[in-house]
Amino acid sequence: MSDPVVKVSGLRYGVGRRRIFDGLDLTVARGKVTAVMGPSGTGKTTLLRLITGQLTPLEGEVEVFGQAVPGLPKPALYALRRRMGMLFQNGALLTDLSVFENVAFPVREHARLPEPVLRALVLSKLHAVGLRGAAELMPGELSGGMARRVALARAIVMDPELLIYDEPFVGLDPISMGVIVRLIGELNDALGITSIVVSHDVDELALIAHHSYLLSEGKVVAQGSPAELRDSPLEVVRQFMSGEADGPVPFHYPAPDYLEQLRS
């Protein structure tokens, strides 16, 4: 078995008095799609920031490609990030640049390619996401699903070894969501990369994830294939997988007694 691409061990992290992670452990296998799920506020996006070195843990280890991320000198950290691609939650396209130039942006920043080579590279990535014909459009002319696909083309333009998706399905209609789900699976297999998908969309992740983690209370409360999570006897897992309002994850934020608060 090959070494994991990402290994998180005993991770502890918090902001002020709020403890977000309290002994988190997980690994991301090479060449697989790993899903990270959990209710809102469980730190899924924070985990991505720790993996990419944007945040530093209070305790524990975060290793990517065998390198300890915390404490890496900036040149080494930047070199490590060049091996990653990131699809941001809102797409994060540069509004003043065309679709073509948005996808070309990372290449222009990190490489010096002749224009014909750059053009062929960008068009090939746009073709992979079905948007070669939209190369000259501006972001404001795109639908939400198209913008997400352009962002995906930009994320893969540098041929990353690790591709990270932060809530890739948010705000998409069923057709666009289906397209993105299919692209995630196809690109992972066709490019031979490793993918981390952070989301709370259970049904979509079940179609593409090889292994899933469910986070709650700062730790992994369950892991396995989507089918194994659905069959879990743990109440918190059943609540999340079935979308029930009542369970270990409370509907109401902690508050004083309702009647007493009305009287005061």
Contact 142, 150 (CB under 8 A): yes
Tokens 């062929």: give the residue.
Answer: 120
The single-letter code of the amino acid at 159 is: D
Nearest Cα residue to 14 out of 78, 60, 71:
60
Q: CA 164 → CA 73, 118, 144, distances in Å?
A: 22, 23, 19
- What Rg, from alpha-carbon coordinates, does the chain have? 20
pLDDT for the residue numbered 129: 87
Q: CA 195 → CA 121, 184, 211, 217, 218, distances in Å?
A: 21, 8, 11, 24, 22
The single-letter code of the amino acid at 249 is: V
**Each residue's pLDDT expressed in tens, for the chain with a length of 264 residues:** 578 999 999 999 988 888 889 899 999 999 999 999 887 778 888 999 999 999 999 999 999 999 999 989 999 999 999 899 888 877 788 889 999 999 999 899 888 889 999 999 999 999 988 899 999 999 999 988 889 889 989 998 898 999 999 888 877 788 888 888 888 888 888 888 999 999 877 778 888 889 999 888 888 888 888 778 777 777 776 776 665 555 555 444 556 777 777 776
Prediction pTM value:
0.83
